[in-house]
Structure 1
Amino acid sequence: MKASLPDPGKAHALRTENERKALDLFLQGIREIRYGVVSAVLQDGLVVQVECAEKFRLMTRREIELAGGGDGI
């Protein structure tokens, strides 16, 4: 039995589709997260994961004092 070679056209199409999905996820993270990080994890030159970490900003001690707040928690 003869091993068949991978179809370069199909491989290119799959890579292009993977890149498109990665960009869509990256843009979605940028649009939806107010403060945080959106990053791409690469393996062998391919995006294998998109990570989104949202952060929530709390008031600083100075902002609390200026707002007339108490001693905090």
Structure 2
Amino acid sequence: KEALREAVLNGKPNWKYIQAILRNWRHEGIQSVTQVEAKRAEREVNNPKQVQASADFLDAMNLWQD
């Protein structure tokens, strides 16, 4: 289930991608959900997701500047 979740979060919910995730986990010795979560947290620290803000949002934030 965690591999499916990972695939969906990465926008690639297909069987080959899920199989690749499982192969990588086996190669890395990951055998539990706790280990998956630790790996995910480590990856997020090393590669934070870049959030795109719309122009409307940025304009609204500029209203609060002094």
TM-score over 0.5 for the pair: no
**Larger strand proportion, structure 1 or 2?**
1
TM-score (structure 1 length as normaliser): 0.28
Structure showing greater Rg? 1
